[in-house]
A and B are shown apart, each in its own frame.
Chain A
Amino acid sequence: MENLSRKQNPYNDGKVIDSCGLFGMMSLKGNTFSGEDAMTAIANMNIRGNGLGGGLAAYGIYPDRPDQYALHIMYENGRGREETEAFLKESFEIVFNEEVPHRDSATGVVNPPLVWRYFVNTLGSIKEEDQDDYVVEKVMFINTKIHDTFVFSSGKNMGVFKGVGFPENIGHYFCLEDYQGYLWTAHARFPTNTQAWWGGAHPFSILDWTVVHNGEISSYGTNKNFLEMYGYFCTMFTDTEVMAYAVDLLIRQHHLPIELMAKVLAAPLWSEIDRMPEDEKEVYTALRQVYAGLLLNGPFTVIIAHQGEMIGLGDRIRLRPLVAGLHKDMLYLSSEEAPMRLVCRDLEYSWIPKGGEPIIGRLETNEVIYQDKPVVVGMDKNANTSSA
């Protein structure tokens, strides 16, 4: 076993202050690019993480198999693989499968499990509208019932790559410079309350929803109980998992628009609701009542993504950082401003979003939606002359 404390604390500081790092980049026109910039950016925030978890999610990377569910599965031993493959053969039509390509020579990656991917169709008897539910059910079955096996990515034309190590090392291990995607998110982990293991790294994912998270969800118990009523089971030993399932429930099952989904997770304060016009007051009061069990308490910033959309969201009083930037067709979201500027030297515009207000990059309409007027952080070169 490598001596991690040597590596993480080479200056032998009495206390190492870290916090998770998040980065996301998306082409609003769907132009694809490799994972290199996302890795460079997250590596620039190296000190936010401590090497006990790193990962990336990428969208649009399997254009040759866009209609099949891509299951990324980690096996801690051969028995898990045997049982899982038998189960997969019963439950799906497996079109293609292979070991996820990786570099054995990569450094900084700790005890990698066997990672395999399967491109599958649901069986012919499953109606189209039921296919997503079917996949969720099977993923939950494998993750709760089959030992030493975890499905950590199950969407179409997207994939999660994660493990124990710094994210740039994990990206290098999985050869992410060879993939072309239009949306990448990345995470550098600094585990606070839970152990470091391959499944516990971010992004967390169900179907094509992924979440990377900085913070602590102190309402985890309440959220977990609420989600269990809808058939979502938490198996990854960490708080962020509830967020992925909450988003899937609210958007895919309950058909809430993303703007309202954000207001369930980061509900407006009652003092704000009191000042709203009557109709809004009614909506937000109802949301807080119906989804009280999904309110996320505690400090958090997340980047949520699924096919065609990237969403940045922070808690209501902004106890964790998030900065947004725009350049041509690119939307950037990051824990710090410097990494955006490192990978995009002439970034046109950047701002500090308001807590609880989602920033939504949308491929379909090629636009960024931010409910309130963004607060300009710099770059407003004409401001001097236009005011007063």
Chain B
Amino acid sequence: MGRITLINTSRPENDMNRVKFENGRIRFDADRLFYKDLNFLLRDVLKEHKPEIISIHNVYGQRYIGTNLRQNVKIEIYGTPGNDLGAFMDGPTIEVFGNAQDGCGNTMNSGEIVVHGSAGDITGFAARGGEIFVKDDVGYRVGIHMKEYQGKKPTLVIGGTAQDFLGEYMAGGTLIVFGLYMSEEQRHRADFIGTGMHGGTIYIRGKVEEHQLGKELGKVEMKDDDWALMEEYAYKYAEHFGYNHKQILNRDFVKLVPLSLRPYGKLYAY
């Protein structure tokens, strides 16, 4: 069992015992640890030991886990991480064994978040890069204001369904909803999809009625490269969650794109 020297945590004496080396990996007990202390401690441990994998246990609602980290590390989370998981993250992979709360992947720059469960509202909020995979459903306003610039392009993949305002104000990136737990006749329940959208693409597998769409976007035909992209992400999704990716591709997709890149360009000009 190794010993960790801490650099700048607020209460080093209490926190020392939480971090242990076990079979070449670092195990971190977050039970009742205040979120700030958790994140300070995580940062210190990663900086000093540069582990490939660190697992955090007994997580109950601590916010901002993985925030602003810039290195290649896999962080496994057992429990229910709090809001803004992986906010501003730049590089790490986070795997959550449980559900994620609101704001998962907020303004994430690069890296990957894999949630073996569901995620709450505003998942992928303002993401600028990286990939997020959610096994089950997500809440409201998912993918709100995702954006892209040159080589930076975020992708958010949802296995289940999403609620209202999916892709609201979306400015770039790719949002994919597989609707895996729905029958062929059942329509997705999200209303106001893509309200204010002016960039990026939304792919939805299954049924979506016209009235569920925001005013700024329209359905377009799936082309070969769209299907190739779906196959790529169906495969990745299947790898993460143990699924047959061919089953994902057996149903039609709706492709949604903004009708204008500047929907309100004329609103303030005449």
Contact = CB atoms under 8 A, between A and B. Distances in A.
Interface of A: 11, 44-45, 47, 271, 275, 317-318, 321, 323, 336-339, 341-342, 350, 352, 354-355, 372, 375-380, 383-384, 386-388
B247 interface: yes
A376 B160 contact: yes
B contact face: mostly helix, strand, loop, or mixed: loop
Given A11-B10, A338-B79, A341-B60, 6 more contacts: A338-B101, A352-B120, A352-B137, A372-B189, A375-B163, A376-B137
Contact of A376 (B164, B181, B247): B181
A27 B211 CA distance: 40
Leading 8 A-B pairs by shortest Cβ distance: A338-B61, A377-B118, A378-B117, A388-B247, A338-B80, A352-B139, A338-B60, A378-B118
10 contacts: A11-B10, A45-B61, A47-B63, A321-B121, A338-B79, A341-B79, A352-B139, A377-B136, A383-B136, A384-B243
Interface of B: 10, 35-36, 59-61, 63, 79-83, 98-99, 101-102, 117-118, 120-121, 135-137, 139-140, 160-161, 163-165, 180-182, 189, 211, 241-243, 247-248, 250-251
Nearest to A334: B61
A336 B181 contact: no
B180 A355 contact: no
A171 B98 CA distance: 30
Contacts, number: 104
Given A11-B36, A338-B60, A383 B80 contact: no
B182 to A, nearest CB: 7
Contacts of A317: 140, 164-165
Nearest to A46: B34
A383 B180 contact: yes
Contact of A383 (B36, B98, B139, B181): B181
A359 to B, nearest CB: 15
A341 B60 CA distance: 8
B136 A355 contact: no
Contacts of B61: 44-45, 336-339, 342
Given A341-B80, A355-B164, A318 B99 contact: no
